[in-house]
Structure 1
């Protein structure tokens, strides 16, 4: 494997998982997926209710606070070690699918996949219908509204350090889309108070909106135990990926999300993507053996020389916030590595 190779821009990764988090009982339409692991996994539609419901114009709320920790610097594509993003959305006259697409709130992979299942990352993103996209520009339709709400100060307690995520104006993509979101990025990770099991506590609190639309809340979570990606190989019709240590949750190892993008060297020491990015949900046992045929069918360049792996452990919980409804709080520990095959 070339040392610290340069790269050409690759296809965008499924947003931070997270832009990735979503409410747990949502409906979403997804493509049919193929099981990728050694153990068989049945193809499923989304985890949730009737997929058609999310495509119908309606009214409601979506809320998410997403903390991403990336302790190890990325050699190919530098990213901050700490990212905090939050959105509190109120909408009417549009579908939930449209709202998720416009506000970058796709349903999380662990809500859409079962362990051992892999899909093209792009197919996990919300896909509004062509007619709804056209109607979004039609000023003569029934009233529509999509607002991102100022919910007061958002505070994140990491070890002895408290962060306050600033508000950022949302671009006026549509005349009826307004509001603010919370964004904080930091190139340095604060010192964490690590517990004996390798996790670190974090507290996320919200002061509440000035008009009372969103009530104050505080939620405790944990940063998952740190780990490293150690190897990837192709053998006997399988793609093997190893990491350590394996998960050691109270009720078992839990699951881990793997986002896979193949690369190949080109001229002048550059590398470029081969095929599409694929997302898998696998048991956090320290090893995944993924069948090549389903991965290839999903678009991964399985014959490439390099494999870019983004692996994420996560802690996800739901907080009930008065009349606004449910807000999901996600803490993601992400490790990225480019491994030779």
Structure 2
């Protein structure tokens, strides 16, 4: 019979103690071993789930005579994603951070720089999912008219991208009801998703005062744009500018790139031409004769939708006009 040496026995016991500690205790039920690890993995997976939600109502009472757009547009998207970046999701679902949150007053940049840019994830980067959630009925109350935005399937451009979006386009806007305090609220209501991930909500957002573009002038190294009525000086307005030059057979050609500016809502924007030209606008030293100006006032609410998180509700009043450069 082999003889057991005290030193050898103590070493074996110490090794057994280390093994027991690593597996969570030798006295535990073997079925319990690994459960904490599975729980941690599930929690980590849950932490990677992200959500983006937006309802965007655009009102354009007086469409541009040269390039008309619908008077009413409603777009709703509620996104759940995992395994991809937020920038990638914003790019794929056309949910960029709004210009008024990216720019500071007086700043002008190329419009394309406001758009998220993210490369498609590599095939070896793990599980990915991007779903556009069905949140039940999306209703918008405009004055005495309530519309239910229809659902549309999202094109399955990627095998892991699926779902629906809400889209409503109309060439007419109803007369908006004016409250005693002078506001004209738009009420947006969502029923909520069947599984309860996105809870139903309702939000009233004030419609900004309508505006009309009047003139655009170039002189002394500056571009001046006028609109009426002026808003509150503490508020801002988004201007999107695109110059046009005459082409063959009377067809207008783009001169440079579209530029977006955030300016004080005072009724006049007085912009230096040099920064605009650096951003891509083709009005300095070019043959541009026309300037398409799109001006937007906006109001926003951020509404809680339960576990989904916050949903952005935007109401934008837009005026667009192609003006001769004086």
For normalisation by structure 2, the TM-score amounts to: 0.82
Q: Deviations over 1:217-265 (max 9, x none)?
A: 00001111111000100121110000000013xxx44000000000011
Higher helix share: 2
Q: How far apart, in 2, do the equivalents of 1:323 and 1:237 lie?
A: 52
Q: Runs (4+) of structure 1 moved beyond 2 Å? A: 194-199
Secondary structure in 1 aligned to 2:108? strand
Give the counterpart of 1:161 among 135, 140, 145. Answer: 145
Correspondence for 1:306? 290
8 Å Cα contact 1:198-1:225 kept in structure 2: no
Q: How far apart, in 2, do the equivalents of 1:215 and 1:277 lie?
A: 38
Q: How far apart, in 2, do the equivalents of 1:63 and 1:121 lie?
A: 22
8 Å Cα contact 1:59-1:94 kept in structure 2: no
Structure 1 residue 141, shift from structure 2 partner: 3.7
**Residues 89 and 145 of structure 1: CA distance in aligned 2, closer, same or farther (over 3 Å):** same
Give the aligned CA root-mean-square deviation in angstroms: 1.5
Equivalences for 1:129-148 in 2 at 5 Å?
Answer: 132-133=119-120, 135=122, 138=123, 140-148=124-132
Correspondence for 1:73? 63
Where structure 2 has 5 or more consecutive residues not aligned to the other structure, the ranges are 1-46
Q: How far apart, in 2, do the equivalents of 1:58 and 1:98 lie?
A: 14
1:230 and 2:211 are equivalent in the alignment: no
Q: Deviations over 1:244-296 (max 9, x none)?
A: 00013xxx440000000000112222211100000000000000001100000
Give the counterpart of 1:61 among 51, 68, 72. Answer: 51
Give the counterpart of 2:90 among 87, 93, 100. Answer: 100
**Residues 196 and 283 of structure 1: CA distance in aligned 2, closer, same or farther (over 3 Å):** farther
1:258 and 2:245 are equivalent in the alignment: no
Structure 1 residue 75, shift from structure 2 partner: 1.7
Give the counterpart of 1:269 among 222, 234, 250. Answer: 250
**Residues 127 and 155 of structure 1: CA distance in aligned 2, closer, same or farther (over 3 Å):** same
8 Å Cα contact 2:64-2:322 kept in structure 1: no
8 Å Cα contact 1:198-1:224 kept in structure 2: no
For normalisation by structure 1, the TM-score amounts to: 0.78
Secondary structure in 1 aligned to 2:276? helix
Where structure 1 has 5 or more consecutive residues not aligned to the other structure, the ranges are 1-56
Tell me the matched-pair count.
276
Structure 1 residue 193, shift from structure 2 partner: 1.1
Structure 1 residue 200, shift from structure 2 partner: 1.7
Choose 1 or 2 for highest CA Rg. 2
Structure 1 residue 199, shift from structure 2 partner: 4.3
